Chains A and B, each alone.
Chain A
Amino acid sequence: MFLTLFLVTIAIFGIVAAMPADVAQYMLGQHATPEALAVLRERLGLDQPAHIRYVRWLTGTLRGDLGYSPYLGGDIAAVLMTRIRNSLFMGAVGFVICVPLAIVLGVLAGVFAGRLVDRVISITSLAALSLPEFVSAVALTLILSTWLGWLPPSSLMEADAAPWEHLDRLILPALTATLAILAYIARMTRGSVIDVMNQPYVRTARLKGLPRRVVIFKHALRNALLPTITVVFNSMGWLMGGLVIVETFFAYPGVARLLLAGVERNDLPLLQATTLLIAVITLLANFMADVAYALLNPRIRLS
């Protein structure tokens, strides 16, 4: 994992360095004189060759110094920590709502495979799965906020406010961000439930006269949920990508909105820091998925 992380830092730095953007130009504006630009570049260390800048950035990052962002007008590290906390909290809210819901729906569809309940759940989840976030964001806002008036249309809150005090403002973005994941997990669960229900041991359990409830919950579900748990962890990485659109749409002060601001303003230090952080989280989520799978599946043992 550390090797991957190292390669990721090189990739991020390489891509950002190859971009035609120039922080000094951004800070001084398009009418800046070449002399003023040269002075600022020197001050920012931009006149150094790429490998030296890379080592400098890497060592700084390891020490927790993510650099200075002209957009934020200050150090990145402090702001980034609040933002990532906000994003993770919103993701957590989304998972808390979506995962149990998805599993229930998936089990229902799986148990009643081919019946009306299954048809409705399958078709709806397929539709939800195919909707990009910016469409589902508009649709959910229209239904839950504009028509029903249950939820506020945006996630307005101060970046350093505690997001758990504004739970009502988190539900819409959290739902939007995890809607596709919900659908995906539901479909996964349905598939494995059907699969497990046809296994000989389940058939045996049913044949020996156990009530259907006991068969499903005691025998089938345990095995059926195994792949689902892996999917849940893997979805976390996917969630980070979707956040760019969701946070921008709902004006939520999370890390992805910071990433977008960095891109729009050619704020390269900010861009590097946010991208790296998202990469780290994605890697961690995948790592956790592997660990969880290993722990739950007796056939895999970590040596």
Chain B
Amino acid sequence: MRFSNPLSEAPTVLSRRTLLKLAGLTTGGLLVAACTRSAPAPSEEQPTPSGQEPASKPINESDAPAPAGDAAAEQAPAPADGPRRGGRLRWGTAREPDGFLDPALGTGQPLTFANWIYEPLVNIDETFGELVPRLAIDWRAEEGGSVWEFDLRQGVRFHHGREFVADDVVHTFERILDPDFGSPGRPVLSNIAEVSAVDEHTVRFQLVAANTDFPVSLTGFQPKIVPYDLTDDEVNNEPRGTGPFQIERYANADRIVFGRNPDYWDAERPYLDEVEVIAIPEATTLVNTLQAGDIDAVDAVPEPLMSLIEGNPDLSLLFGPPIQKEYIFMRLDVEPFTDERVRRAFKLIPDRQAMAELSWAGIPHHVSDDNPVIPTNPLHIETDVWQQDLEEARRLLAEAGYGDGLEIDLWAMNDQYAVMEFCLAYADWARQAGVTVNVQGVPSDRYYAEKWLEVSFGTVGWSPRTTADEQLRIAYTTDAQWNETRYHDADFDAMLDQALAEPDTERRQALYAELQRKLIAEGGQIIHAHHPVACAVRQNVHGYQYHPLDSVDLRPVWLS
């Protein structure tokens, strides 16, 4: 769903580059390089499920297995007397909003707010396990998945009073697909050949190629329904959607006040009367302000600050599902990794369990077996292929002609939590197998700009993708732009296409399992863990849950 560089999703408060630019511009200024640890990259926008939503649907409309058990996201405890209406939530974020509220044009933080104003047809839950109906109440595939029909919710009104109809959906998608409009949502949705209104409350998507995951692609950032009677300028500057909140005041971009939509289609929710967005760029100050009680919730808490919240009885630290990852990778098309024995040796070097514990102690993580598919995805398989075996690694390396030792640079992002630590641990084990690993730390922005796709042995962080297909396609297919490992395998590519178009659930599951097994055995990725992002709220905030795409769905949130 997102294709921005992983780097762009990690907001740094004062990045090196920013400071360099500043230093050249501030007259008579004294600038000291402040390197603030970047907050974990929470994503943008996509509403969450809620207990009161109509029945949710598994992705693929199949009896997909339940999401992994350890993935249960934490939710703020709720008192027994149930939700209360009213109040103002002061929502703190380190990411300063900018002037963009048009969902079709946005890529970052503003989409969180666009999401409170505009709604998609379909949401995905915070584990990326199930689809949740929003403006569409039901959908079905026809012609083997190359035509999709959506039944729209009736009796929904835009903030300016007009009823929501199929023409709004058609308008929304035509806008995104218009090449002159330049929506970042276009590449993902370019599989749509035509959108048409079957009647007032039914829309039909004709696809170029069959896609069993199609409804998931509607949960992305951009396809939020905008009314057809608004101009592009109005969509951005005087936004009017169907969402639970509308903008009351937009003050100089560092403070936005949202008011409850009195005509929202869910009569009971949202519970909050008002939401005030408060931007505090420095994460430490943000958390301090939460402790002082000047704000009620923080959208994302950087790992080093988690202990501050855990020790405070007035605050709750809420973990999302374990779907983020940072890991080591080898580039398979360069020496020494062109030799299959060296690859195997390098995959036998780390103790993934110990590495995960080192990185994420105290944070509910999921130990991985080099599987890039997130553990909460219904198609994820558990395997046990790679165990630490230093003797075998040493033997393989000797066989490959490196019996006298091997020296290699491992490039790491030195400003990302735990990355340097797990790289050094890897280097330690590697030495025992006769490999000298020199860990080279580089700040993230420079790393992603200059090193990431160049180095033969490096690290990377990926934000979660909503489907197994996207996760595998974006980094492991032959023509993938971000294929950091240069895993090029024609069979893999063909099987991935086949799996995406496969309508039969069991065959489809078997195909994805085979794809994962193949990649775990052959790929250059050494993934030791998937971990969550955490947000924090004060004790009087209930029903709050972190969502990887949306930050949060505020509809179930209430104050006591």
| Nearest neighbor of A74 in chain B, beta-carbon distance | B99
Q: Assign chain A's interface to a size class.
A: 35 or more
Q: For the complex, would chain A's binding face be called helix, strand, loop or mixed by DSSP majority?
A: helix
Are A248 and B184 closer than 8 Å at their CB atoms? no
- Give Cα A78 to B479, complex, Å: 50
- Give Cα A282 to B25, complex, Å: 13
Instruction: Collect the chain A residues with CB atoms within 8 Å of residue B18's CB.
Output: 260, 263-264
Are B279 and A251 closer than 8 Å at their CB atoms? yes
- Give Cα A165 to B186, complex, Å: 48
Instruction: Collect the chain B residues with CB atoms within 8 Å of residue A241's CB.
Output: 26, 28-31
Are A31 and B253 closer than 8 Å at their CB atoms? no
Instruction: Collect the chain B residues with CB atoms within 8 Å of residue A88's CB.
Output: none
Are A152 and B252 closer than 8 Å at their CB atoms? no
- Give Cα A69 to B18, complex, Å: 18
Minimum distance in angstroms from A151 CB to a CB of chain B: 9
Could you give, for residues 232-275 of chain A, a 1 whenever the CB lies within 8 Å of some chain B CB and a 0 otherwise?
A: 00000110111011001111010001011101110000010001
Instruction: Kindly identify which residue among B36, B252, B280 contacts A160, using a CB–CB cutoff of 8 Å.
Output: B252
Instruction: Collect the chain B residues with CB atoms within 8 Å of residue A91's CB.
Output: none
Instruction: Collect the chain A residues with CB atoms within 8 Å of residue B25's CB.
Output: 12, 15-16, 259, 263, 271, 275
Are B26 and A275 closer than 8 Å at their CB atoms? yes
Are B285 and A154 closer than 8 Å at their CB atoms? yes
Instruction: Kindly identify which residue among A133, A237, A260 contacts B22, using a CB–CB cutoff of 8 Å.
Output: A260
- Stretch binding the partner chain, chosen from B131-139, B288-296, B402-410: B288-296
Could you give, for residues 20-53 of chain B, a 1 whenever the CB lies within 8 Å of some chain A CB and a 0 otherwise?
A: 0110111111111010100000000000000000
A1, CB-defined interface residue at 8 Å: no
Contact A251:B281 (CB < 8 A) given known A132-B32, A153-B289, A261-B253: yes
- Give Cα A36 to B107, complex, Å: 18
- How many residue pairs bridge A and B at CB < 8 Å? 161
Instruction: Kindly identify which residue among A29, A133, A237, A240 contacts B182, using a CB–CB cutoff of 8 Å.
Output: A29
B4, CB-defined interface residue at 8 Å: yes
| Nearest neighbor of A245 in chain B, beta-carbon distance | B34
Contact A156:B280 (CB < 8 A) given known A12-B25, A29-B184, A251-B285: yes
| Nearest neighbor of B249 in chain A, beta-carbon distance | A158
Instruction: Kindly identify which residue among A35, A153, A160, A259 contacts B285, using a CB–CB cutoff of 8 Å.
Output: A153
Could you give, for residues 275-289 of chain B, a 1 whenever the CB lies within 8 Å of some chain A CB and a 0 otherwise?
A: 000111110111011
Minimum distance in angstroms from A172 CB to a CB of chain B: 10
- Give Cα A261 to B254, complex, Å: 10
B153, CB-defined interface residue at 8 Å: no
B98, CB-defined interface residue at 8 Å: yes
B377, CB-defined interface residue at 8 Å: no
Instruction: Collect the chain A residues with CB atoms within 8 Å of residue B13's CB.
Output: 248
Are B292 and A153 closer than 8 Å at their CB atoms? yes
Are A244 and B255 closer than 8 Å at their CB atoms? no
Are B285 and A249 closer than 8 Å at their CB atoms? yes
- The 27 listed contacts between A and B (C-beta, < 8 Å) are A8-B27, A19-B21, A29-B106, A31-B183, A33-B180, A33-B182, A71-B99, A73-B250, A73-B253, A83-B252, A134-B34, A145-B292, A153-B292, A154-B280, A238-B30, A240-B28, A241-B28, A242-B29, A244-B26, A245-B14, A251-B278, A251-B281, A251-B282, A253-B254, A259-B22, A278-B26, A279-B27
Interface residues of A (CB under 8 A from B): 8, 12, 15-16, 19, 28-33, 35-36, 69-73, 79, 82-83, 132-134, 138, 141, 145-146, 152-154, 156, 158-160, 237-238, 240-242, 244-245, 248-251, 253, 257, 259-261, 263-265, 271, 275, 278-279, 282
The 7 closest A-B pairs by CB, nearest first: A241-B29, A73-B99, A153-B288, A132-B32, A32-B182, A251-B280, A134-B34
